[in-house]
Amino acid sequence: MKIKFLALAALFACSTTFANAQENYYTKKATDNIFLGFGVGGMSVFNGGLNSPTFNFNIQLGKYITPTWGVRAEISGLWQSLEGQDKSWFVSGTNKYSDYCKMFGELNADAMLNVTNWLGGYNPDRVVDFYLFAGPTMNLASKGTQFTGQTTANEEALLEEADGAKLRIGATAGLGLGFNVSDKWAINVEGRFGVTPSIFGDASACRKAEATGRLTIGATYTFGGKNFAKVSDRVVEKEVVKEVVKEVPVEVVKEVVKEIGGGSAAIFFKIGKAKISPEGMVNIKLMAQAMKKYPNAKYKVAGFADKGTGSVSFNQTLSEKRAQAVYDALVAEGVNPNQLEKVAMGGTDPMFEKAYLNRVVIMEVK
């Protein structure tokens, strides 16, 4: 049973790799989408029936590689309980072996598959996610019990406590529901099933492959919020540079900006972002210089978003943030705020043939 369960866990890990190969989103920076989680709940041993549940906790550290899959490490414990078996096991010098609790620590390495995003596509506004996880596990506890080689008058085997500690290797798998409170916080309910050698040793009727189950509720915090980029944008960003900049000499750019008093200009953004790039800041500085030469001119600072990505509310907020970022940058460069008017257009249909060019703030004379 244990070998089959290990094989299933390995197969699951491979399936998440396949899912990643079909993914349209990725994590752009190594520091993005790292999360910390914790949970509390109960644990029970499935051996001779369902044993009394004991307290269980976990602490997790992981990373979402894409919206569909991720990886995490989990430390958990704290107790397991084994009650009377079908046979009358005895511990030497004590009463019948029953209602026995034992402390242990466990380390799990999980591959995680977000089934909701896998089947339904990524939606940053989705509230509920259903996910699966599986991987190897190991626990550390004392050696438990061992047979003494002696029996009672009724030929019942005698047991004694074994000295030292023992590391046991197995596999676990489970499922969870995540309730997204925000882009950073989620409430999680998880069930985990595992198979490892028993921490109770020979006292367990399934000492070589004992099944355990856990049910926990907890929370997960994603540092900086979930932040994914489209795979296509790796190519798109290069196309933007070629089509918008086209390696125009700096002298020509300056001459064009000098005429901004009677024209318009654009600052482009990355998908889902409202942060001005270093290249954008260079253009803003040049535009600010030109605007200050026309103190009586009024300018509209209009923020836009790509209608094809994100919800209506998300794009509206994003376009507001982009317009505000350019407005603040111009004011910081000395432009009179009375010359500027901010507007947010939200997600719109392509204005320049290609949708990604809508991730922009356009400044024009009113």
Same domain, 174 and 263: no
Q: pLDDT per residue over 25-83, tens digit each?
A: 888 788 999 999 999 999 999 987 888 899 999 999 999 999 999 999 999 999 998 87
**Looking at residue 331, which CATH number applies to its domain?**
3.30.1330.60
Same domain, 175 and 51: yes
| Residue with more model confidence, 89 or 67 | 67
Domain that holds residue 40: 2-222
Average pLDDT over residues 12-36: 68
Query: For residue 214, what pLDDT band results from cuts at 50, 70 and 90?
Result: very high
DSSP3 helix / strand / coil % (the chain, rounded to 5):
25, 45, 30
Same domain, 54 and 151: yes
Q: Amino acid identity of 107?
A: L
Mean pLDDT of the chain: 82
* Residue 173 burial class via C-beta count within 10 angstroms: exposed 0-12, middle 13-18, buried 19 and up: buried
Q: pLDDT per residue over 322-357, tens digit each?
A: 999 999 999 999 999 999 999 999 988 888 878 888
Report how far apart the first and last C-alpha atoms of the chain are (Å, whole number): 74
Q: pLDDT per residue over 220-255, tens digit each?
A: 999 999 988 877 555 444 444 444 444 334 443 344
| Percentage of residues in the chain having pLDDT higher than 70 | 78
Q: For the residues of 135-181, what is the DSSP string, one character each?
A: EEEEEEEE--EEEEEEE-TT-PEEEEEPPSEEEEEEEEEEEEEEEES
* Residue 190 burial class via C-beta count within 10 angstroms: exposed 0-12, middle 13-18, buried 19 and up: buried
Same domain, 116 and 155: yes
Same domain, 200 and 258: no
Domain boundary pick from 198, 222, 246: 222
Residues paired with residue 70 on neighbouring β-strands, in sequence order = 64, 112
User: Which pLDDT belongs to residue 145?
Assistant: 81
Same domain, 182 and 240: no
Same domain, 190 and 252: no
- Integer CA distances (angstroms), 35 to 68, 70, 304, in order: 15, 10, 31
Q: pLDDT per residue over 260-310, tens digit each?
A: 444 578 899 998 899 998 888 888 888 888 888 888 888 899 999 988 888
| Residue with more model confidence, 313 or 71 | 71
Sign of CA dihedral 121, 130, 67, 268: positive
Domain boundary pick from 222, 241, 261: 222
- pLDDT over threshold 80, residue 21: no
Same domain, 267 and 357: yes
User: Which pLDDT belongs to residue 261?
Assistant: 45
CA 174-230-322 angle, 5° bins: 115
Same domain, 273 and 133: no
User: Which pLDDT belongs to residue 22?
Assistant: 45
| Residue with more model confidence, 292 or 87 | 292
- pLDDT over threshold 60, residue 93: no
- pLDDT over threshold 60, residue 85: no
Same domain, 243 and 350: yes
Pick the closest to residue 38 from 266, 190, 192 (CA basis).
190
**Looking at residue 51, which CATH number applies to its domain?**
2.40.160.20
Average pLDDT over residues 20-25: 57
Give the H/E segment covering residue 292: helix 278-292
Q: Of 4-8, 205-209, 306-310, which range is least confident?
A: 4-8
User: Which pLDDT belongs to residue 292?
Assistant: 87
Same domain, 115 and 159: yes
> Number of folded domains in the chain?
2
Same domain, 281 and 339: yes
Q: Of 175-179, 247-251, 311-315, which range is least confident?
A: 247-251
- Rounded to whole angstroms, the Cα distance separating 160 from 336 reads 85
Q: Are 47 and 205 in contact (CB under 8 A)?
A: yes
Calculate the dihedral angle through the C-alpha atoms of 179, 182, 183, 188, rounding to the nearest 10 degrees: -30
Domain boundary pick from 222, 257, 290: 222
- Rounded to whole angstroms, the Cα distance separating 204 from 245 reads 72
